Structure 1
Amino acid sequence: MSAALVSLGLDTPTADYLSTLPGAAGLVPGRVVRVDKGLSTVLTEDGPVRASWSGGVLAAVASDAQASPCTGDWVALRRWPDDRITLEAVAPRRTAIVRAEVGGSSRGQVLASNVDVIAIVAGLIPEPNIGRIERFLALAWESGARPVVVLTKSDLVGDADSIAEDVATAAPGADVLVCSATTGQGLEPVRALLDGNATMALLGVSGAGKSSLVNALAGVELLDVQAIREDGKGRHTSVRRELILLPQGGVVIDTPGLRGIGLQEFGEGLVAAFPDISGLADQCKFKDCVHQTEPGCAVQKALADGTLPVRRYESWVKLQREAAFMARRTDARLRAEAKKEWARQSKGYRRDITPRQ
């Protein structure tokens, strides 16, 4: 593996996969920086290039939207005699941040891939929305990457540590870091997340300070930043997901501000985000307890004696219901697609066996 690709986060299993592709000798490995309507900017050993998608990739995307190349993907490129460059294959993803598609579809949208750390960025002013942080945490845990909560703008408040304690109670298992991109205070623990050429994706709403954080970590102004609006809401600075190689090492994937995160059918992610409630649920008298009025419900008992905050329980219930709803929609979509495929094959079969007149 070349040092340039290793600095981008290339690992041995991915390198081995790319090297064993058919015709690998004529392929160029690289990592997707960003995607624009069927074109990808890819960073290779020799620098960035623009690549269109091959027929094989387009066919894969047609059958599964999640096969679409995304920021963070490791890919194989082919250079043609007429100077065209095509993206021929996408390596299997170690981790993937997947949310439900905008518009309520049951299909998933991959926001970024091959991420080691997901930094859920929230500004300390206005005070962070803990329910939203819990939602981001469920998404992050499900991805397979390590979640971390980064609270920014500590220079603008006097009770940053107190707010961080409140956030920490809603983020068991995830570190909560407090920093200021303006003064540099608290940046070293954040920068340490990138040790070993790690890739860190930033998730958060507009105005959380993601672009300012990238600039502070880089030590130079790589991204434009804007002040928040008078009503406290953020302005969109980043307009697309983009991979950024930092001068001191490590890779950051900056994402546009997300007003909402649609959850898909969550398994381990929701359990990991709410280990306290999951642990209580295991103690319930009945295995099919729905944690409302059943006798012997450990969750309701914890609510009654105050050991489980009502706010956290309500947040968990909301996410559980949403995940269950998306699971039902996915099942219905898969059944409909299977029925259409069966009808298509049956039609072809009848055409093939019908004798010509």
Structure 2
Amino acid sequence: MTYDLQDLGWSSFFTRQIDDDTARPFRVSEVHRSSLTAFSPEGVSRLISPDHETGAIAVGDWVLADDEFRVTTILERQTLLQRRAAGHEVKPQLIAANVDTLFIVSSCNADFNIARLERYLALANAAGSYPVVLLTKADICDNPSEFRRQIEQLPLAPVVETINAKDEADVKAAMNWVKPGQTAAFVGSSGVGKTTLANGMTGDSDVTAAVREADSRGRHTTTSRFLKRMLNGGWLIDTPGMRELQLFDAQEGLDAVFEDLQSLAQQCKFNDCSHESEPGCAVKAALEAGEIDADRVERWRKLERENLYNSESLAQARTRQKTFSRHVKSVMKGSKKRKGR
């Protein structure tokens, strides 16, 4: 089946970036180690990326390619979901690009974690995607409204849908947050029902895995990211379950999620107040008066420290890389001069 550019999510935002009428746009549906799978009005194509590491391209990206299906340009993104990659080295890992709606999936059991939810909300707000929380397994939970209540108590609480992922009406209600041509993505732990939801939204029949009853944890059934057509004309990027989500370059997202605490912090006597022992601290005063939740303040402090550390480390790594590249070019240039004598 083929789609026109508008079906695939093309808009004037991308049109403005092209000054060559012969350019061939493609929407990336899968990222492999040395190649890409992508949609275009001509169908599905395999693209090669000689000038870009595929790690710099995300599922959902729009790219331009030549007649030999070599990527020549990665178009600027409207939104980009990214996190710190696993491991000791601080570097980014791209999750998905050009995502309009971020479905944050959690289940009504031991998987539910308000601190993790705040991380996902910060991720969505930093990227510019609209967050919608999907609380799954409501059909096997004694009191699903309690989980919903915890989310709705958050300042600027996101939209919440409490659903049974196997119920067609519930799945359609979630799909209503994605219009034809728009793109959604899933984030959440393994075992929360993302694959079951994806099957209901796309008509696929991917295999699901059982969840351990002891801790409600599941196994990875989705191991790669794929862009799939939804039954309502939208697009869905299914992602593997995340055991860890480390934030960086997410200050704007944190400011949105913790807007109430940020407003308080602006009333502190000192601009660099750590909100722990400084005199004139508005946050500390609100804590002592019982006006704000101590656990939430601690989560805010933790995420602020994490984001600052990762952002600064990444900036330093990029500076070192640029310095090293300039040094290599200088050495090579000097070597050529000596050879020419």
Provide the TM-score with structure 1 as the length reference: 0.88
Deviation of residue 173 (structure 1)? 4.3
Residue 17 of structure 2 corresponds to 17
Matched to 1:78, the amino acid is D
1:76 corresponds to 2:71: no
Deviation of residue 333 (structure 1)? 1.5
1:8 corresponds to 2:3: no
Residue 270 of structure 1 corresponds to 254
Cα distance between partner residues in 2 of 1:46 and 1:171: 46
1:105 corresponds to 2:93: no
Q: Confirm or deny: 8 A CA contact 1:31 1:75 kept in the other structure.
A: yes
Matched to 1:98, the amino acid is Q
Matched to 1:77, the amino acid is A
Deviation of residue 169 (structure 1)? 2.5
Cα distance between partner residues in 2 of 1:87 and 1:265: 27
Matched to 2:177, the amino acid is L
Deviation of residue 135 (structure 1)? 1.1
Cα distance between partner residues in 2 of 1:286 and 1:310: 21
Contiguous gaps of at least 5 residues in structure 1:
none
Q: Confirm or deny: 8 A CA contact 2:29 2:226 kept in the other structure.
A: yes
Contiguous gaps of at least 5 residues in structure 2:
none
1:44 corresponds to 2:40: yes
- Aligned-residue identity in percent: 30
1:221 corresponds to 2:209: no
Residue 175 of structure 2 corresponds to 191
Q: 2:72 aligns with which of 63, 68, 88?
A: 88
1:347 corresponds to 2:335: no
Matched to 2:218, the amino acid is G
How many residues are matched? 339
Cα distance between partner residues in 2 of 1:57 and 1:338: 17
Cα distance between partner residues in 1 of 2:227 and 2:165: 20
Matched to 1:40, the amino acid is L
Deviation of residue 9 (structure 1)? 1.1
Residue 289 of structure 2 corresponds to 305
Residue 230 of structure 1 corresponds to 213
Cα distance change, pair 165–335 in 1 and its aligned pair in 2 (3 A)? same
Deviation of residue 278 (structure 1)? 0.8
Q: Confirm or deny: 8 A CA contact 2:102 2:124 kept in the other structure.
A: yes
Deviates more, 1:337-346 or 1:98-107: 337-346
Cα distance change, pair 197–342 in 1 and its aligned pair in 2 (3 A)? closer
Q: Secondary structure at the match of 2:27?
A: strand
CA RMSD of aligned residues (A): 2.2
Matched to 2:63, the amino acid is V
Instruction: Give CA-to-partner distance per residue, 1:173-214, whole Å, 9 cap, x none.
Output: 421221111234543441111124211111011011111112
Q: Confirm or deny: 8 A CA contact 1:170 1:312 kept in the other structure.
A: no
Cα distance between partner residues in 2 of 1:197 and 1:268: 27
Q: 1:56 aligns with which of 51, 54, 65?
A: 51
Provide the TM-score with structure 2 as the length reference: 0.91
Q: Confirm or deny: 8 A CA contact 1:179 1:185 kept in the other structure.
A: no
1:239 corresponds to 2:210: no
Deviation of residue 73 (structure 1)? 0.6
Q: Confirm or deny: 8 A CA contact 2:111 2:217 kept in the other structure.
A: no
Residue 143 of structure 1 corresponds to 127
Deviation of residue 229 (structure 1)? 2.2
Q: 1:35 aligns with which of 31, 34, 38?
A: 31
Q: Confirm or deny: 8 A CA contact 1:118 1:146 kept in the other structure.
A: yes
Deviates more, 1:324-333 or 1:93-102: 324-333
Cα distance between partner residues in 2 of 1:49 and 1:203: 27
Deviates more, 1:317-326 or 1:168-177: 168-177
